[in-house]
Amino acid sequence: MIAIDITKACEGPAESITVTLTSQYIFRNITIEGFSDSTSYYCNAGIRGVVAGDMDSDNDIDLVASSSDDSVFIFLNDGNGTFTRHAAYRVGDGPEGLTLSDVDNDYDLDIVTSDTYSDSVSVLINNGDGNIERIDTYPVGWGPLAIKSADLNNDGYPDLAMVDYFGDSLSILLNNGDGTFAPRYAYPGGDWVNALVPTDFDNDGDIDLAAFGGGDMYVRVFLNDGEANFSVELFNSGSSGTGHIVAADLWEDGSIDFCYTGNGNGNRLGIQRRVHGNDIRFCKQY
Ligand SMILES: [Ca+2]
Ligand SMILES: [Ca+2]
Ligand SMILES: [Ca+2]
Ligand SMILES: [Ca+2]
């Protein structure tokens, strides 16, 4: 199940409505649920991922979905919270990971997919109105799943990080400064790693990465030296299994904590607290 809260999806009187979007792996519809009704939008095949952002630069939130027929669909918001299927583009095989990022710094959102079964990343360059002007493909690790975009080397251009499920690795693609990417480099990422979150864990001004996976008991935090070279810290999560991970300052003490789910060892929700200065860390599980 994928759920996205979309605020300000609509302009004018409807602006206060929070639209909830749900989709499921086997479903071909994106369903938009408002206060009193819902509307479904059709994709050709099972939906793998959905993200929200303004694709046509008209200040309302549009939707982008990846599907099991190796395509990306763009649904444009008509301004009142209804959507029109605008375009579909072919990407690599099995686009599981999906993210939006302005990779070429031209003030529009571009689309990036991790193509799990072709071991590639597809970068779809937006021409500003929701039409894709070019699709670039890059070889990456074995079975990329979660993919995130952040400026990892602090040059002002978004880079890409992903976890490779079959290759047990964390892959980095640095932006060349024009929306194209340098060849991948990688770090060991743990068995069957599938979840990834970028955030500044150590409060030193650069973006770090935390990865979690299905094959071992560890959350791996990759600490950035500011130039996209990473050192890894391992935290025993107490749980394994395919999961998700999010990062937030849960104790509001200025330190970023993380929360993860694992379906091994009792379907647990784990919370890892980081306390800086005295280096105390502990884990809670529910
Ligand atoms: Ca829009
Ligand atoms: Ca762009
Ligand atoms: Ca960069
Ligand atoms: Ca950092």
Which ligand has the nearest atom to the CA of 151?
A: 3
Q: Which range has highest mean pLDDT (19-28, 92-101, 253-262)?
A: 92-101
Which ligand has the nearest atom to the CA of 224?
A: 4
In this prediction, residue 27 has a pLDDT band, given cuts at 50, 70 and 90, of low
Q: Are 87 and 74 in contact (CB under 8 A)?
A: yes
Contacts of 51 (CB under 8 A, 6+ apart): 4, 63, 64, 98, 99, 100
pTM: 0.86
Write down the pLDDT at residue 4: 55
Q: Which two tokens stand for residue 123?
A: 């970068």
Write down the pLDDT at residue 280: 46
Task: Report CA(84)–ligand 1 centroid distance (Å).
Answer: 11
Task: Report CA(191)–ligand 2 centroid distance (Å).
Answer: 34
Q: Dump pLDDT digits (tens) for 164-187.
A: 999 999 999 999 999 999 999 999
Residues with CB under 5 A from ligand 2 (ion): 102, 104, 106, 108, 110
Q: What rounded mean pLDDT belongs to the chain?
A: 82
Task: Report CA(111)–ligand 2 centroid distance (Å).
Answer: 9
Over residues 209-217, the mean pLDDT reads: 82
Task: Report CA(48)–ligand 4 centroid distance (Å).
Answer: 30
Task: Report CA(63)–ligand 1 centroid distance (Å).
Answer: 9
SS3 16: helix
Task: Report CA(212)–ligand 4 centroid distance (Å).
Answer: 18
Q: Would you give the end-to-end CA distance of the chain in angstroms? A: 21
Write down the pLDDT at residue 197: 92
Task: Report CA(163)–ligand 3 centroid distance (Å).
Answer: 18
Q: Dump pLDDT digits (tens) for 45-75.
A: 777 888 899 999 999 989 999 988 999 999 9
